[in-house]
Each structure stands twice: as C-alpha cells, then as structure tokens.
Amino acid sequence: MPSRQTQLQPFFPRAVVFDLDGTLIDSSGDIADVLNECLGEEGIAAFEEPAVVTMIGGGAKVLVERALDRLGRAHDVALLDRVFDKFAARYEAMGAGRSKTFPGALEVLERLSREGVGLAICTNKPEHITRRVLDQLDLTRWFGAVIGESPRLPRKPAPDMLLAALAGLGAERREAVMIGDSAADIGTAKAAGVKSIAVTFGYTTIPPRELGADAVIEHFSELHAALAGLA
C-alpha cells in the first residue's frame, strides 16, 4: 500500500473503507426501476422513487419484503419468491445502469489516494456485480481491495468483510476508518474495532446521527476534516 504519511497529520488514517450503495454511489434509480418492473409483471402499480429509497437496506429480499408489506401482502410467500427471483435476475444483468457517484466523491477519492491513503470497498452487494459497477463507473482504479457479498464471508454487520478489506490494504484496525450510511456499516465497524463515519445522504431507515458513528458528514467536502478529527 502506498506510504506517504509524512504528508499527513500523525493521527490521520492509513486506510479508508467505503460502503458502496448509499455511500459512494447513488443507485436508488436502478433499484427502483428493477423493483417496479418486477412488480408491474405481477399487475402491481409502481412505487415512486423516493418511496423505494426508504425501503433500501439489508439486501434485495428485504427490499421486496418491505415493498410487499406496504402493499399489505407481506404474507404472500409465493409472490415474494416470484418478485425476488425476477429482481435478482434483472439486477444481476443491469450493472451500473443509472447509478452515479454522490457529489464530491471523486474529489475525495483523488485526494486521499494522492495523500497515500489506502482505499477499499466493503459492501453487501454481490462481489461480482460490485466489480462490474465499479468498472463501468471508472472507479476500480482507486481501490486496493474490493470486498462484496460472497459465500466465503458473512455479510455486514459481521466484521469479516471489513477485516478482509483491511488485510487487502495491509492496514491495521487502529489505522482505519469505515464510511457508511447504514446500521450495517457502522455495526461492522464497531464489531471490527474500527472507527466510523456516517453520511446523511444514504438510505438508512435510522436517522444517521443515531447510528453511533464516531462522526457524521452531510457532504463529501466535509470528509477530510472529519477523518483528521478522529484522533
């Protein structure tokens, strides 16, 4: 991993690990599109995109469960299985779609990389889809480790994925910070003994300032100062 820490404050992290959806990229449009297509095939009216955003978090099956719950059909197991299977197949094929980085994200990645900070992704999105999305958004080049959902590791909030990301960067827990938007992200940081920063522009169903992160930012322009303040 690059080492230019002489340019940084002594307590500045050597590794920063980002969640993907709702933290680094806004993928809510893609998720809404796919969900509504699958529901439409069942004769169910589409949700508005802001409503879908409030259902995101916990994976595709949880998303579908929340959607059906709002429709009063949470106990229709056959419908749940059909919609989930369709969703998984279509989301698998979509890639980046309408996804885009949140404002200021690219500037943050460039600055941290220039300063010698190791960068990684730790997401519950399936790893092969994660890598495809990063490639399509021209983000892969920034990351020394990419850890997504796979059979080899338990999902966040278990600490294993974050620890694997740090191993890929050659960084210790005390040198790292996890950036995320959800209870799963902050929970995995706590379980791994890693400091954390929550963003307010993601998809959490819990108010970001109640997630228990060490700091909270409202825009990526605030990240560098927040990292420097985690002494």
Active site residues: 19
**Are 160 and 191 within 8 A, CB to CB?**
no
**Are 129 and 135 within 8 A, CB to CB?**
no
Question: What type of residue sits at position 230?
Answer: L
Name, in order, each residue with C-beta under 8 angstroms of 161's C-beta and a sequence gap of 6 or more. Answer: 122, 124, 147, 148, 153, 154, 155, 188
Taking each helix axis as running N to C, give the angle between helix 60-70 and helix 77-94, from 0 to 180 degrees, rounded to the nearest 10.
130
**d(C-alpha 140, C-alpha 81), whole Å:** 33
Residue length of the chain: 231
- Which of 147, 92, 96 has the alpha carbon at shortest distance from 119? 147
**d(C-alpha 158, C-alpha 36), whole Å:** 31
Which alpha helices (DSSP H) does 10-149 contain, by range?
28-40, 49-53, 60-70, 77-94, 105-114, 127-136
Q: Is 169 helix (H, G, I), strand (E, B) or coil?
A: helix
